[in-house]
Structure formats: structure tokens, C-alpha cells
């Protein structure tokens, strides 16, 4: 099948590469010339384990191509995927200007019946808007072509995106016509070999499914973070509570890890957009608003713990920060808890020496220049260098390399043997044996 993927961001690139890997002929299109030139050389704009190999191999085979010219890609194309960004607008709703622009371009370029797939996370009703825009463009050309707009939200986790795409738990397809449903079923057949993973529904249901899934996961996290905070004041270890409730199959073990708050490009944005949608429909988003509120509060919890222990004025204090990315396995720092923490510590006068195994270049590019120039935020070369003369170590992202550190060496490098563990990675008893004072989330030693 001949596919065109528009948008070579995270979703578009993974989608294009994985379809090519499974035998489709794929052209990825982007208006960013520099990005496309780099991709043509096999240079990727993002870090995602396994992606580079798949991109390079499929380019070499000729199954994956990159271009800025949609008109070339569109010739005889059967399926267009819209995978451009939907950033939050000022009122929290998803900004659809890029989706609409791409829809218009497709209408200007398509040459035959085509399925147009919304892959971006878009609010209920977007497919109808896309159809209108495409139809307008066709009318302007004076051409009568049939097309269907399909919703096929992605469920990729950064850091595990290739695996998620190639071996999905489920494939959600919202299609309002038999013809489009059949084409989508054929397209995804190689991903559904062992069992039928496709769940077919109508377009609006599929659009909502994506938001509901992310909001549910965010709800589990915020709920657990709130439980953790209660536990802490009662002398209860939330880690035991987590294991205890996770064993109930109705609750399950996943997404109930308390921490420093959820980040990334999806949960914060999608919860916000769903709150807006809910309000627009006249439904009070009581649960969703609480989920968002708890998360905003949770991102401040580490700084509050530090101030409660070392004082609200942190001038002259130095902190080692382990982890900048919003989660392990990615260099993505969007909405990361680390940013709120650094902001709070710098505002209280502290010096922060940070290290992340993958996100250092990203940090140098994206963190506010004022922080880096003030030389109160230092980017360390390795995790142990970050500890030198620090008054405490703070763990924010649970990278594997931080899981079993050399506690003895840590103790020698730190000025004070204090650990603030924002992801409950360490055993309080074990670190106490090395002479550390330990502060976790929902568990105080
Ligand atoms: C999330 C969803 O998990 C994917 O299914 C979805 O496709 C994607 O959003 C999307 O909409 O594109 P992602 O943002 O990559 O994926 O990251 P997650 O692994 O879900 O983690 C999100 C945040 O929640 C991280 O900051 C993580 O540290 C936090 N988290 C996760 C917790 O604090 N506790 C947990 O138990 C799990």
C-alpha cells in the first residue's frame, strides 16, 4: 500500500518507519526543510530506542522516503496520515490550525479516492472538520473525488514506541464507511497476525477513546500521588499500599507509581483539552480538574520537602539533580517535573547541578537561558560529578543508571548524606545502612 505521513514529529516518524518496516511504501512529508534534509541523511530529530535503525534500513530498501513536496507524495496515494502537532491553545483546547492546514493541502493534491487518517490526538468532531476542509479544497479545484476521514489514535509510549507500534495491545479505528474500514483492516493486518487487535467503531467514538485512555491513566497517577501524600502524614509506606492494591486485578499494578508528577507532551495537554471539551458540553469536569490540580501540586512536592528539611532560604545550598527528562528512555523534557523543581530551587537561592543520561543536549537548548547564564544551574558531565559538595541528591527521573548507584562513593562526594527520592527507587533501610537520610514520596524513613 502507498502511504503518505504528514508531520515527521514523534508520532509521524514512528508511524512512517513502522509501516515501512511492515512492508508498506511510505513517504514522510514535512514543511521543515532542514529536518527533511537531515532525515534523508538518516539523522533523526528525536531520540527513540530502535527508531534510527528502522529508518536507515527502510530508506536503504527504498520503502521509506522523505520529502517536503506533498504534491509528489500524494500521487496515487491511498492513505494519508495527518500526524502534525495539536498544541494547547490559550483556553486549553487543542489548537487545530496545523491539522486544518494539512487537510487543505491534501484536498489540493490528492489524485484518487483516499482514506485520510487523523493520527494526531484531536478532539471529538475534528474528523468532520477535516472532511469539510478537504471538500472545500476539492470544490475549489472543481474535482469530484471521494474520500473518507478516519480516526486512528496512537497509543505510543515514548521510549517504547517501536515496540508499542509493532506489537500493539489494540488498534482503535473509527471509520464511518465500510470502504475505509476495509482499507484500514488490510493496512493493519500484519500487526494483528496472532489475534484480531482491531477495535472498529465510529469516528467520534475513536476520537474520544484516545482522550479517555490518557485521562484515565493520568487519573490513576494523580490518585496515587494523593494517597502517597496522605500516607506520609500517617507513618504509612505507600509502596506497600501500592503493592497491596495493585494485586487486585480490577486495579492492576500499572500507572499507580507515586512520584513527582506526570509530565510529557500527552497527559498534561490531553487532560487540559478534555477539561475544556467537558466545560463546552456543559458537564462540570470535577474529576479531571482534580487530576490536573493534584499534578500541579505534586510537581512542587520535592521542593517543599527540601525546604521543610533545609529551610526556605536555600542561598548557598547546592543540590545534585539526577534526571531531567519527563521519564526514562527519552530526551523529552516537555512538562517535566524537573523543570518545576529547578525553578523552585533557584527561586529559593539554591545552586543546582543536574545530570541526565540522555537529555543533556536538550536541557542546554531548552532550559531558560537565564538559568544557565546565572551559573546557578550547572549541567554536569556525569552523575557522580553532579554530587560534588552538594547538600543533597534529588532523584527525579528513574533512569536505570540511577537505580543501583555506588552509595559509598555518593557519600564521599556529597556534602551532606541526604537523598530526596522523587520516584521511590531506593530502599530506605539500605540507604540508611550507608548513612543516608532518606526522604521518598509517601514514605518517610
Ligand atoms: C502516554 C501514554 O502512556 C501512551 O499510551 C499515549 O500513547 C501517549 O501518552 C500519547 O498520548 O501520545 P507517554 O507520555 O510517552 O505516553 O508517557 P508515560 O509512560 O505514559 O508516562 C507519562 C508520565 O506519567 C511520566 O511523567 C511518568 O513519569 C508518569 N508516571 C507514569 C507516573 O508518575 N506514575 C506511573 O505509575 C506511571
ipTM of the complex: 0.96
pLDDT, tens only, 393-411 = 999 999 999 999 999 999 9
**50 and 81 together in one domain:** yes
Active-site residue identified among 18, 28, 109, 266:
266
**92 and 162 together in one domain:** yes
pLDDT, tens only, 87-125 = 888 888 889 999 999 999 999 999 999 999 999 889 999
Q: How confident is the model at residue 158 (pLDDT cuts 50, 70, 90)?
A: confident
Residue 396 CB contacts under 8 Å (≥ 6 apart), including other chains: 260, 302, 321, 322, 323, 324, 336, 337, 338, 341, 422, 423
**224 and 185 together in one domain:** no
Give the DSSP per-residue string, 69-110: -HHHHHTT-SEEEE-----B-TTSSB--HHHHHHHHHHHHH-
Listing from the earlier edge strand, what are the strands of the sheet with 351-355? 377-379, 351-355, 318-322, 392-395, 418-421, 437-439
**256 and 305 together in one domain:** no
Whether ligand 1 lies within 6 angstroms of the CB of 7 is answered as: no
pLDDT, tens only, 209-250 = 999 999 999 999 999 999 999 999 999 999 999 999 999 999
Cα gap 303→56, rounded to integer Å: 43
Residue 353 known to be catalytic: no
- Domain assignment present for residue 206? The answer is no
Total domains in the fold of the chain: 3
- Domain assignment present for residue 319? The answer is yes
pLDDT of res. 193: 82
* Phi, psi of 262, deg, nearest 5: -85, 145
pLDDT, tens only, 331-373 = 999 999 999 999 999 999 999 999 999 999 999 999 999 999 9
pLDDT of res. 92: 83
Domain extent for 26: 2-201
Q: Which region holds residue 319: left if phi is over 0, alpha if psi is between -120 and 50, else beta?
A: beta
**272 and 342 together in one domain:** no
| CA 255–ligand 1 middle distance (angstroms) | 8
Tell me what the pLDDT averaged over the chain comes to.
Answer: 96
Only one residue has cell 505507600, namely 238
| CA 413–ligand 1 middle distance (angstroms) | 33
pLDDT of res. 445: 63
- Domain assignment present for residue 102? The answer is yes
- Domain assignment present for residue 445? The answer is no
Q: How confident is the model at residue 35 (pLDDT cuts 50, 70, 90)?
A: very high
**62 and 40 together in one domain:** yes
Task: From 296, 316, 332, give the residue that closes a domain.
Answer: 296
Pocket test residue of 118, 212, 213, 266 for ligand 1, highest count of atoms within 8 A of CB: 266
pLDDT of res. 47: 87
- Domain assignment present for residue 444? The answer is no
pLDDT of res. 95: 93
Amino acid at each position: 500500500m502507498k502511504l503518505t505521513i504528514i508531520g515527521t514529529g514523534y508520532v509521524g516518524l514512528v508511524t512512517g518507519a513502522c509501516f515501512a518496516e511492515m512492508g508498506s511504501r511510505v513517504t514522510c512529508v514535512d514543511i521543515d526543510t532542514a529536518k527533511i534534509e537531515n532525515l534523508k541523511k538518516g539523522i533523526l530529530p528525536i531520540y527513540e530506542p530502535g527508531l534510527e535503525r528502522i529508518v536507515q534500513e527502510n530508506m536503504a530498501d527504498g520503502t521509506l522516503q522523505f520529502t517536503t513536496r506533498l504534491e509528489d507524495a500524494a500521487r496515487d496515494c491511498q492513505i494519508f496520515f495527518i500526524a502534525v502537532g495539536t498544541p494547547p491553545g490559550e483556553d486549553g483546547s487543542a489548537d487545530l490550525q496545523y491539522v486544518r492546514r494539512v487537510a487543505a493541502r491534501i484536498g489540493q493534491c490528492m489524485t484518487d479516492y483516499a482514506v485520510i487518517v487523523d493520527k494526531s490526538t484531536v478532539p471529538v468532531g475534528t474528523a468532520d472538520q477535516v472532511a469539510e476542509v478537504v471538500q472545500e479544497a476539492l470544490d475549489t479545484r472543481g474535482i469530484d473525488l471521494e474520500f473518507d476521514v478516519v480516526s486512528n489514535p496512537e497509543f505510543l509510549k515514548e521510549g517504547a514506541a517501536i515496540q508499542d507500534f509493532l506489537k500493539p495491545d489494540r488498534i482503535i479505528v473509527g471509520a464511518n464507511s465500510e470502504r475505509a474500514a476495509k482499507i484500514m483492516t488490510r493496512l493493519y493486518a500484519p500487526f494483528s497476525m496472532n489475534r484480531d487487535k482491531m477495535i472498529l467503531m465510529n469516528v467520534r467514538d475513536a476520537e474520544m477513546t484516545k482522550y479517555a485512555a490518557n485521562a484515565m491513566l493520568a487519573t490513576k497517577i494523580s490518585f496515587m500521588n494523593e494517597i502517597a501524600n496522605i500516607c506520609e502524614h500517617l507513618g504509612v509506606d505507600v509502596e506497600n499500599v501500592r503493592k497491596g492494591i495493585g494485586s487486585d486485578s480490577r486495579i492492576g499494578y500499572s500507572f499507580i507509581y507515586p512520584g513527582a508528577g506526570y509530565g510529557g507532551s500527552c497527559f498534561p495537554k490531553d487532560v487540559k483539552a478534555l477539561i475544556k471539551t467537558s466545560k463546552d458540553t456543559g458537564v462540570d469536569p470535577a474529576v479531571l480538574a482534580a487530576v490536573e490540580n493534584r499534578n500541579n501540586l505534586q510537581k512542587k512536592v520535592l521542593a517543599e520537602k527540601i525546604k521543610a528539611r533545609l529551610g526556605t532560604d536555600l542561598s548557598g545550598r547546592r543540590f545534585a539533580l539526577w534526571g531531567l527528562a519527563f521519564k526514562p528512555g527519552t530526551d523529552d523534557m516537555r512538562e517535566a517535573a524537573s523543570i518545576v523543581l529547578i525553578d523552585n530551587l533557584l527561586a529559593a537561592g539554591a545552586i543546582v547541578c543536574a545530570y541526565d543520561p540522555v537529555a543533556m543536549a536538550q536541557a542546554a537548548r531548552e532550559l531558560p537561558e537565564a538559568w544557565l547564564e546565572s551559573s546557578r544551574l550547572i549541567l554536569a558531565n556525569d552523575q557522580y560529578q553532579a554530587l560534588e559538595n552538594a547538600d543533597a541528591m534529588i532523584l527525579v527521573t528513574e533512569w536505570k543508571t540511577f537505580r543501583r548507584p555506588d552509595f559509598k562513593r555518593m557519600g564521599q562526594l556529597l556534602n551532606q548524606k541526604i537523598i530526596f527520592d522523587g520516584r521511590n527507587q531506593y530502599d530506605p533501610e539500605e540507604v540508611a545502612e550507608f548513612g543516608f537520610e532518606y526522604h521518598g514520596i509517601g514514605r518517610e524513613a
